[in-house]
Amino acid sequence: MQTENDPSSDSDPPARKKKRGGVGRFFRWTLAIIAILVVVGAGIVGYGYWQFTKQGPLTRSVSVVIPKNASLGMISDRLEKRGVIDGTFIFKIWVRLHGAHSRLRAGEFRFPRGVSQKQAMKVIVSGKQVLRRFTIPEGFTSQQVVERLKRVRYLTGEVSKIPAEGTLLPDTYFFVRGEARDSVIARMTRAMTKSIEAAWAKRHTDIPITTKREALILASIIEKETSKKGERRRVSAVFINRLRKGMLLQTDPTVIYAITKGKGPLGRRLLRRDLKVDDPYNTYKYKGLPPGPIANPGRAALLAAVTPLKTSEFYFVADGTGGHAFAKTKREHDRNVRRWRKIRRELDRKKK
């Protein structure tokens, strides 16, 4: 029989029971608080990610310029001001969580309608800037090309010097905002070099054009003589035939270049007295090709210069439709010239 004070009794002292009960309650409350914090934290994180990935406020696409060395805060402010995002706090947090804050690029970026903050981040990280474009028409002189570039918005800097005639390929060029004009000139020069090489690889070996420069000069004349796709190789054939015979080329565009020096259009009709100007570019006075190109020819003219048609034609003149009438003999050519002068007189009367 055990007494009340027997140490072998199963009952704990009241103080020990109280102590154990307090520890248990504290532990349970701690777990409960942690659980609540986890749930609340998960909710906050989930809400933040939802804000980061949900459709944004933009109702139409916009372009935003991100300056060089802009901080995440500056970028966030710009995006908010342009309406791309509707707050900067979430954006800055999640960009950092993605480790993208150090990969944001400078430039001009286009953001589509409804873009999310996450998508906006990816646009800037990608570095794919807004591409703008301009076109240089075939037959522009280098001076005209430079004048055109001066008027292209968003290009920067001055052209350091007028490029040599015939060294710039006419084409449509794309550029990003802030690109230097000299950089564009360099791209145009490289494009012309590649185009000459490509045309030269296809040249006919029986033509009296022995260098790439000669091909470039002839191509520039062809470019100024006709803009019709189906005529270039035929015009080329006439000049090739004349070169073979040692005849004067007698092409008006070279005389115009002798007068204007490539600064722009003549601005009037070519007169008989102009054909007597003493200049090496005057192919009415000097045999063979002129000393240099008279414009910047396009790819089609370059190819036509070295792949002329096989014809026996030595003459052509405007036919009043935008094309030309070709002839094998001087008599036939004189008849075409008379027809063209009659058409021109009628056109002049209609203008009055």
Tell me the per-residue pLDDT of 29-39, one tens digit each, with 9 for 90 and over.
Answer: 777 677 666 66
- Percent of the chain, pLDDT > 90? 80
Least confident of 46-55, 115-124, 199-208, 287-296: 46-55
Span 71-129, pLDDT tens digits? 999 999 999 999 999 999 999 999 999 999 999 999 999 999 999 999 999 999 999 99
Task: Decide which of 348 and 226 is more confident.
Answer: 226
Span 171-186, pLDDT tens digits? 999 999 999 999 999 9
Which residues touch 17 (CB under 8 Å, ≥6 apart)?
Answer: none
**pLDDT band for position 5 (50/70/90)?**
low
Q: Could you give phi then psi for residue 100, rounded to 5 degrees?
A: -95, -5
The span from the CA of 129 to the CA of 133, in Å, is 13
Helix boundaries (H) for 201-251: 212-225, 232-245
Span 200-220, pLDDT tens digits? 999 999 999 999 999 999 999
What residue type is 302 in one-letter code? Answer: L
Q: How far is CA 162 from the centre of its chain?
A: 21
Mean pLDDT, all residues of the chain: 91
The CATH number of 62-126 is which of 2.60.120.10, 3.40.50.720, 3.30.1490.480, 2.160.10.10?
3.30.1490.480
Q: pLDDT value at position 18?
A: 53
Span 12-25, pLDDT tens digits? 555 555 555 666 77
User: Is 303's pLDDT higher than 70?
Assistant: yes
**pLDDT band for position 45 (50/70/90)?**
low
- DSSP secondary structure of 17-64: HHHHHHHHHHHHHHHHHHHHHHHHHHHHHHHHHHHHHS--S-SS-EEE
Q: How far is CA 204 from the centre of its chain?
A: 33
**Burial (0-12, 13-18, 19+ Cβ within 10 Å), 314:** buried
Three-class DSSP category at 303: helix
**pLDDT band for position 1 (50/70/90)?**
very low
**Burial (0-12, 13-18, 19+ Cβ within 10 Å), 84:** buried
Helix boundaries (H) for the chain: 14-53, 72-81, 89-97, 117-126, 142-150, 181-200, 212-225, 232-245, 252-260, 299-306, 330-351
Question: pTM value?
Answer: 0.82
Buried b (16+ CB within 10 A) or exposed e, 118-134: bbbbebbbeeebeebeb
Distances (CA, A) of 324 to 273, 316, 349: 24, 6, 22
**Burial (0-12, 13-18, 19+ Cβ within 10 Å), 272:** exposed
Q: pLDDT value at position 3?
A: 46
User: Is 320's pLDDT higher than 90?
Assistant: no
Which residues touch 94 (CB under 8 Å, ≥6 apart)?
Answer: 48, 49, 52, 117, 118, 121
Delimit the domains of the chain by residue range.
62-126, 133-193, 207-351
